[in-house]
Amino acid sequence: MATSLKRREQPMSREGDQLIVTPLGAGNEVGRSCVYMSFRGKTILFDCGIHPAYSGMAALPYFDEIDPSTIDVLLITHFHLDHAASLPYFLEKTTFKGRVFMTHATKAIYKLLLTDYVKVSKVSVEDMLFDEHDILKSMDKIEVIDFHQTVEVNGIKFWCYTAGHVLGAAMFMVDIAGVRILYTGDYSREEDRHLRAAELPQFSPDICIIESTSGVQLHQSRHIREKRFTDVIHSTVAQGGRVLIPAFALGRAQELLLILDEYWANHPDLHNIPIYYASPLAKKCMAVYQTYILSMNDRIRNQFANSNPFVFKHISALNSIDDFRDVGPSVVMASPGGLQSGFSRQLFDSWCSDKRNACIIPGYMVEGTLAKTIINEPKEVTLMNGLTAPLNMQVHYISFSAHADYAQTSTFLKELMPPNIILVHGEANEMMRLKQKLFTEFPDGNTRIMNPKNCESVEMYFNSEKMAKTIGRLAEKTPDVGDSVSGILVKKGFTYQIMAPDDLHVFSQLSTATVTQRITIPFSGAFGVITHRLGKIFESVESSTDEETGLPALKVHERVTVKQESEKHISLQWSSDPISDMVSDSIVALVLNISREVPKIIVEEEVAVKSEEENGKKVEKVIYALLVSLFGDVKLGENGKLVISVDGNVAHLYKESGDVEGEHEGLKERVRVAYQRIQSAVKPIPLSAE
Q: How confident is the model at residue 608 (pLDDT cuts 50, 70, 90)?
A: very low
Residue type, 249: A
| Torsion sign over Cα 390, 393, 394, 400 | negative
Is 403 tagged catalytic?
A: yes
Strand partners, 242: 330
* The residue type at 150: T
The average pLDDT across 420-444 equals 93
Position 487, amino acid: G
**Which range among 155-159, 166-170, 584-588, 668-672 shows the weakest confidence by mean pLDDT?**
668-672
Average pLDDT value for residue range 402-407: 90
Mean pLDDT is lowest, of 112-126, 151-165, 363-377, 497-511, for 112-126
Q: Report which of 395, 410, 261 is spatially closest to residue 339, judged by C-alpha positions.
A: 395
Catalytic residue among 194, 403, 532, 557: 403
State mean pLDDT over 308-321: 80
pLDDT band for position 1 (cuts 50, 70, 90): very low
Cα separation of 162 and 149, whole Å?
A: 12
* CA-wise closest residue to 209 among 493, 509, 19, 425: 425
- pLDDT of 329 over the 70 cut: yes
CB 493 within 8 A of CB 41: no
In this predicted structure, which of 1-5, 118-122, 350-354, 471-475 has the lowest mean pLDDT? 1-5
Share of the chain above pLDDT 90, in %: 41
Q: What is the pLDDT of residues 361-374, one digit of tens each?
A: 987 777 778 888 88
**End-to-end Cα spacing for the chain:** 58
Percent of the chain with pLDDT over 70: 92
Q: Cα separations (Å) of 374 from 2, 218, 345, 367, 636?
A: 36, 22, 12, 12, 109
| Candidate ranges 196-205, 300-309, 598-607; pick with highest mean pLDDT | 196-205
225-265 pLDDT per residue, tens: 899 999 999 999 999 999 999 887 677 788 888 899 999 99
pLDDT at 34 over 50: yes
Which residue(s) pair with 448 in the sheet? Answer: 420
Residue 9 scores a pLDDT above 60: no
The H-assigned helical ranges of 518-633 are 527-537, 578-596, 605-608, 612-631
- Which whole-number Å values give the CA distances from 663 to 93, 636, 640, in the listed order? 82, 19, 20
Question: Please, what is the average pLDDT of the chain?
Answer: 86
At 16, the pLDDT band (50, 70, 90 cuts) reads low
C-alpha angle 55-57-62 in degrees, rounded to nearest 5: 120
- On the question of pLDDT at 284 being above 50, the answer is yes
How do residues 171-202 score in pLDDT, each as one tens digit?
999 999 889 999 999 999 988 878 889 999 98
Mean per-residue pLDDT for 198-223?
Answer: 91
Residue 629's pLDDT band, with cuts at 50, 70 and 90, is confident
Q: Are 95 and 68 in contact (CB under 8 A)?
A: yes
pLDDT exceeds cutoff 90 at 143: yes
Predicted pLDDT of residue 671: 83
Please report which residue ranges of 296-442 form alpha helices under DSSP H: 298-304, 342-351, 370-375, 406-416, 428-441
Q: How confident is the model at residue 229, as a pLDDT?
A: 94
User: What are the respective helix, strand and coil percentages of the chain, to the nearest 5?
Assistant: 35, 25, 40
The predicted structure's pLDDT at residue 221:
85
pTM for the whole structure: 0.67
